[in-house]
A and B are shown apart, each in its own frame.
Chain A
Amino acid sequence: MDNNTIICRCSDLSLQDIRDLINDGYTSLEEIKRISRAGMGPCQGRTCSQLILREISRITGKDIHDLQPCTNRPPTMGIKLKTIADGRESND
């Protein structure tokens, strides 16, 4: 059942995938992001991160309050490299 519960739509990770990672010792959002790419797709963690934090809290017994959110970097959505490169004209 947990294989059909999708936590990260962008990288297609199920609840079972996330639980396996936590049980393997990846117990922070940052670690899970780096090993699985959850949070690095188009949604940028807006959908999945609260679900993952809740799972970490449930399995490790730590309060969500004490869990670290992961680093948030620009850009907030996908953009072509060409667009950024063309934007150099507006440098001053």
Chain B
Amino acid sequence: MKYTDLAIIGGGPAGLCSAISAASSGAKVLLIDRNEKLGGQLIKQTHMFFGSEKQYASKRGFNISEILLDKLNDYKENVEILNNTTVLGLYEDGVITATKDEKYVKIKPKATIIATGASEKVLAFPNNDLPGIYGAGAVQTLMNVYGIRPGKKVLMIGAGNIGLIVSYQLMQAGVEVVGIIDAAPKIGGYLVHASKVRRMGVPILTRYTVKEAIGNDTLEKVVISKLDENWNPIEGTEEVIETDVMCISVGLSPLAELLQQAGCKMMYVPELGGIAPLRNENYETTVDSIFVAGDVAGVEEASSAMVEGYLTGLCAAEKIGFKHENYLELKKDYRNQLEALRSGPVGTKIRSGINKVMGV
């Protein structure tokens, strides 16, 4: 058994910031991630980020993860990193089991922060198992981590920020994007991203869905069709698009399996992407000393994942006896930053979701 003060599961922006915050409070931190390289979604992001300066806006995603790793290095005497390590289970007594290099590891922390991020939603349509049909995450990993193009032509499904950004990145890699379709009546992503791809000649069709995929061994064609007001396909509006890749980007849901194993109370909250954990204002779940931060607490953005990470790391460390010397001041600052990120009309949905999981 391995003992530590605080275990953090997931080394994306939320996990990295929790680790910085808890280690700077004096706690010994064990940071676990299944990948070789820490940074989570950030390492795949070649575009410049949105948000405010405090959350490194206008820096590229992979640069942000380098900045955070540098910052974490300032507290290296308090931090142990277990990369290439997948957490397998989280038990009622707080014990974590994991596997690294075919070895079985057991960990007993005083508190745990779950920062496992989110998983991609999928679609059901005929022949949805043909090779050539990818999730946006896989396309990004192939292109931006391994330098492999997924194919020649892509039809993007989903006009949210991820669909728009990945379309742009595909074009940067020399892949033709034949179009972007979305079932919603309006483009979900930021207008700047949408205008950028439109200017490059990519049509964005709203109120359209995939009717079926066609191909012998791999994807050859996609049939799309228009939707009516009640999201039902309108007969006679089918169009056939020739393409060898379909990239699906229709949203994410919290990767909450470990929380469910530990017995945390969960709730279906569509505003947060699916089944999300109930939590208090310190990001502690209904199970004592199990905290959450980032997309697993509710799908949002890297900017909020970072601030949630700082806040949660601070609170979890305090809970187990490591109170930062500027605890109250910092806590107030992080709360204000989160409030600012979620203010205005763009934050309406997320605010409503958060009220539900906090029982407001």
Residues of A within 8 A of B (CB): 1-2, 4-7, 9, 15, 44, 46-47, 50-51, 64-65, 67, 69, 71-77, 79-80, 83-84, 86-87, 90-92
Contact = CB atoms under 8 A, between A and B. Distances in A.
A65 B310 CA distance: 31
Contacts of B103: 83, 86-87
B261 A74 contact: yes
B104 A86 contact: yes
A77 B86 CA distance: 8
A5 B104 contact: no
A72 B261 contact: yes
Nearest to B269: A65
B124 A51 contact: yes
Given A5-B125, A51-B124, A87 B87 contact: no
Interface string B223-263: 00000000000000000000000000000010101101100
B104 A79 contact: yes
Contacts of B86: 76-77
A90 B102 contact: no
B89 A76 contact: yes
Contacts of B99: 79, 83
A6 B128 contact: yes
B88 A74 contact: yes
6 contacts: A6-B128, A7-B124, A75-B89, A79-B99, A83-B104, A92-B1
Contacts of B163: none
B125 to A, nearest CB: 6
Interface in B51-99: 86-91, 97, 99
Contacts of B122: 47, 50-51
Given A72-B257, A73-B261, A76-B87, A4 B127 contact: yes
Interface of B: 1-2, 86-91, 97, 99, 102-106, 119, 121-122, 124-129, 212, 253, 255, 257-258, 260-261, 266, 268, 274-275
Contact of A74 (B91, B121, B212, B274): B91
Given A1-B212, A79-B99, A91-B1, A46 B255 contact: yes
A76 B88 contact: yes
A15 B124 contact: yes
Contacts of B88: 74-77, 79
The winner among A67, A71, A74, A76 for most chain B CB atoms within 10 A is A76
B128 A74 contact: no
A9 B1 contact: no
A7 B126 CA distance: 10
B104 A50 contact: no
B97 A5 contact: no
A71 B260 CA distance: 8
B275 A69 contact: yes
A90 B105 CA distance: 7
A92 B108 CA distance: 11
A58 B311 CA distance: 40
The 3 A-B pairs at the shortest CB distance, nearest first, are namely: A74-B89, A87-B104, A75-B88
B217 to A, nearest CB: 15
A71 B261 CA distance: 8
A67 B268 CA distance: 9
B258 A76 contact: yes
Nearest to B253: A50
B26 to A, nearest CB: 26
Nearest to B261: A72
Contact of A64 (B90, B105, B255, B268): B268
A63 to B, nearest CB: 9
Contacts of B274: 50
Nearest to A86: B104
Contacts of A64: 268
Given A76-B88, A77-B88, 12 more contacts: A9-B129, A44-B257, A46-B257, A50-B122, A50-B253, A73-B89, A76-B86, A80-B102, A83-B103, A83-B104, A86-B103, A90-B104
Contacts of A69: 260, 266, 268, 275
